Structure 1
Amino acid sequence: MRTLFDTLDKIADASATVIVLGESGSGKELVANAIHQLSERRQRPFIAVNCGALPETLIESELFGHERGSFTGAARTHRGCFERANGGTLFLDEITEMPVDMQVRLLRVLEAGRFSRIGADQEIATDVRVIAASNRDLRAAVAAGKLREDLMYRLCVIPVSVSPLRERGGDGLLLAEMFLERLNEENGTAKTLSAEARQRIASYRWPGNVRELKNVIHRAYVMSDDDVEVDTGGDITAAVAPPAAPRTESSTGDEVTIQVGTSLEVAERALIMATLRSLDGSKSKAAQVLGISLKTLYNRLHAYGGAARAPLDGLPDETGDVRLAA
């Protein structure tokens, strides 16, 4: 992380456009925000836009704004992101998900520093530093028609590559401390990471990258009591540990035999109970194996007479023409 921040410090005060590349959840927005905070624009707005989350019908208005009455439903003038971020930084995440016609307008703003609201005659000058991000191979996106080649070159003035968290050594602990510090500041607390939590954070592979780490720290913070160190024990272990593979027929050696003429209700009940037994009573795993939601499973168990709240030994045995065969 030290090497990355050294790079960010060098490019922070440049006016050139930056493209941040990395896996989903690797912390690309954190990098963009760090560039903003290290720059002379730090006192001005930092606005983040996920291009993949905006409907095509709204993205133009969101980026460039619109005049009152410019289209049906435009009851008032709307200032777009380029206008609101003036003097600051605009972060465009998932840039390859921006519609191609909007990419043309974006390229115009990057080259001329001017834009117009929808329905307006006058152009507005803007002083915004644009930082874009993508988890795609940009050349592949160009070849697939997802990204204009001229825009790719315009964005790639300063490329910054963000490695996945699993390849960044002790960065996990540094980021965990940062996330926890923010939570403490927001809530007026002084919680700390326990030695066990530090060990787990350092040794885990973090397939969900920085996003997963942030969520785990937030959950650990919420679940801990005041004046108690944050750790990854108890229920948090499930959030940190890699998910266990569902046990299947080949791994359990169990199967349900159903004779012709068995009612659907009895067969369903037998299958659910057999699955629960084979998975040591784990309802979440059983729901996954059965291909139903956990809520549906609980509803079925409730219909069977409170089995959702009963211990495994209390689950009713298969009855009638249905049997569990090993």
Structure 2
Amino acid sequence: MGHALIVEDDADAARMMAQLVASEGFSAATAQSLGEARRQMALQQPDVVLLDLKLPDGNGMALLDETELIGNSEVVLMTGHASLETSIQALRFGAADYLIKPVSARQLQGILSRVMKPSVLLDEVRSLHEDLHRTGRFGHLVGTSAPMERVYEQIARVAGTSVTVFVTGESGTGKELVARSVHDLSRRRARPFLAVNCGAISPNLIESEIFGHEKGSFTGAERQHQGFFERAHGGTLFLDEITEMPLELQVKLLRVLETGTFMRVGSTTPLETDVRVIAASNRDPAQAVAQGKFREDLHYRLNVFPLDLPPLRDRLDDLPLLVRHFLAEMGRRENATKRATPAAMERLAQYRWPGNVRELRNVLQRAWVMSPDADITDQWLPRNPAQQVASLPASVRPPAAPARADGRIEVAVGTPLADVERQVILATLDHYAHHKERTAAALGVSLKTLYNRLKEYGL
């Protein structure tokens, strides 16, 4: 049976919380000041401290500075509202979570169900680092390069807290794997991890999918539907491509983050939710804010702990390890063994990888299928556009677009429109380091249209 210490200056509130704690199988002690809390902790080390911030003899945060007294206790802050400042304070001082006052039974049950001594989490992080040095893996992630070491350090630091995380990085860098690693190292690991791509759901359905709906709330709503916030209760909700969420829904998401409550579509009854949100975007969030596509207040609320993933071109030291990992994964699935030849590894190292690790996996899968024997050669591996153009006969090579230092191109009067289009596309592609998704977005065309044009140009 665990032991809880409730540090709360309101005697009635403390007594009520002690009863709730006892109903969850914990023994409970109460303290109405910092001094009394210190005495209680000296008498019996609690498993969890429910700590009010405003006490008669000082701020509850002062207790967190006394590491010898806190020892191996999990600390949960109690606050009147879930402000951004509270989240940052909880992270800075090492608090595991926070409760919004007045504390509800459901909130408290969720907290107590996740009580885990900090030393347990530290041991797990230590074990993951040992696995990293032995196998090159850290949870769901693969790589031992310096940029990835920094990512692992941040995951280990934030996983044991309850603060929101904002993962940024180019498409294909592994943002969902980061979110899963944070969840698996957190106190919420026994509860669901749900991932939703905000850009892949119809704007007409996304509110219903995230918050749920009542029967008859709109045409086709033949039954009550639980949204992601209900299904992920107690666990982690990963909101990928958050900058693609409609603005009117961003307002409702902000309210959930600040109050811990939401309403299904067609309902007027608020429901409580206990979910940790991890958001992600392959766009620059600040740029999305400037463009009016992402609410600034929501950005601040989600960006408590920013975590940026490096593109594959900035971590090429990990390429051999990733190739071995993916080929071993395919080998287990296909019950066969294949390896990349030195020439293949050289070709892979020269490629720019605009699609990052996801593209690498897809390239290796294709090469696996096309290679008739155990050796994967460079025959079926991609080349950079400049290398592809150089290999074409001079008669069919597309002309390079003349670009100035300021990124502009000059087009002579009377140039055929088709040639103008080609020069603009190639210059923009070169400007974005041959990242096709960014190029298409900058040009205002679909990715399919861009691919069709490049195919016409022999690229």
Q: Do both proteins adopt the same fold according to a TM-score greater than 0.5, normalized to the shorter chain?
A: yes
1:122 is the counterpart of 2:269: yes
- 2 CA distance for matches of 1:218 and 1:120? 47
Which digits, 9 at most, give the CA deviation of each residue in 1:223-275, with x for residues without a partner? Answer: 456xx5462443x22xx22242376757499xxxxxxxxxxxxxxxxxxxxxx
Distance 1:201 1:71, change over 3 A: same
Which digits, 9 at most, give the CA deviation of each residue in 1:44-99, with x for residues without a partner? Answer: 32222111122210110111111111111011221111112222221111111111
- 1 CA distance for matches of 2:398 and 2:287? 43
Counterpart residue number, 2:34: none
Contact 1:44-1:88 at 8 Å conserved across structures: yes
- 1 CA distance for matches of 2:157 and 2:316? 22
Compare 200-209 and 78-87 and name the one that shifted more. 200-209
Counterpart residue number, 1:216: 363
Report runs of 4+ in structure 1 exceeding 4 Å deviation. 246-253, 284-287
1:158, distance to aligned residue in structure 2 (A): 0.3
Matched to 1:152, the amino acid is H
Distance 1:193 1:130, change over 3 A: farther
Identity of aligned residues (%): 53
Distance 1:13 1:195, change over 3 A: farther
Q: Which segments of 5 or more consecutive residues in structure 1 lack a partner in the other structure?
A: 254-283, 292-326
- 1 CA distance for matches of 2:325 and 2:244? 30
Which digits, 9 at most, give the CA deviation of each residue in 1:251-302, with x for residues without a partner? Answer: 499xxxxxxxxxxxxxxxxxxxxxxxxxxxxxx99993389xxxxxxxxxxx
Contact 1:184-1:191 at 8 Å conserved across structures: yes
Counterpart residue number, 2:340: 194
Contact 1:170-1:202 at 8 Å conserved across structures: no
Counterpart residue number, 2:282: 135
Contact 1:16-1:158 at 8 Å conserved across structures: yes
- 2 CA distance for matches of 1:174 and 1:43? 30
SS at match of 2:352: coil
Contact 2:313-2:352 at 8 Å conserved across structures: yes
Counterpart residue number, 1:299: none
TM-score of the pair, normalised by structure 2: 0.50
- 1 CA distance for matches of 2:457 and 2:398? 15
1:288 is the counterpart of 2:434: no
1:181, distance to aligned residue in structure 2 (A): 4.1
Contact 2:233-2:274 at 8 Å conserved across structures: yes
Contact 2:341-2:375 at 8 Å conserved across structures: no
Counterpart residue number, 2:83: none
Counterpart residue number, 1:88: 235
Counterpart residue number, 2:107: none
Counterpart residue number, 2:310: 163
Distance 1:289 1:198, change over 3 A: closer
When the two chains are superposed, the root-mean-square deviation of aligned CA atoms in Å is 3.0
1:26, distance to aligned residue in structure 2 (A): 2.3
Q: Which segments of 5 or more consecutive residues in structure 2 lack a partner in the other structure?
A: 1-147, 400-450
1:110, distance to aligned residue in structure 2 (A): 1.1
Matched to 1:189, the amino acid is N
Which digits, 9 at most, give the CA deviation of each residue in 1:206-228, with x for residues without a partner? Answer: 12212211211222344456xx5
- 2 CA distance for matches of 1:91 and 1:198? 34
1:231 is the counterpart of 2:398: no
SS at match of 1:153: helix
Counterpart residue number, 1:79: 226
Counterpart residue number, 1:45: 192
Aligned residues: 255
Distance 1:10 1:138, change over 3 A: same
**Equivalent residue for 2:260, pick from 101, 107, 113:** 113
- 2 CA distance for matches of 1:290 and 1:198? 28
Contact 2:183-2:236 at 8 Å conserved across structures: yes
- 2 CA distance for matches of 1:144 and 1:286? 28
Which digits, 9 at most, give the CA deviation of each residue in 1:114-166, with x for residues without a partner? Answer: 21211223322222211111122222221221111110100110000112110
SS at match of 2:168: strand
TM-score of the pair, normalised by structure 1: 0.69
Counterpart residue number, 1:98: 245
Distance 1:67 1:191, change over 3 A: farther
Distance 1:252 1:159, change over 3 A: closer
Contact 2:331-2:338 at 8 Å conserved across structures: no
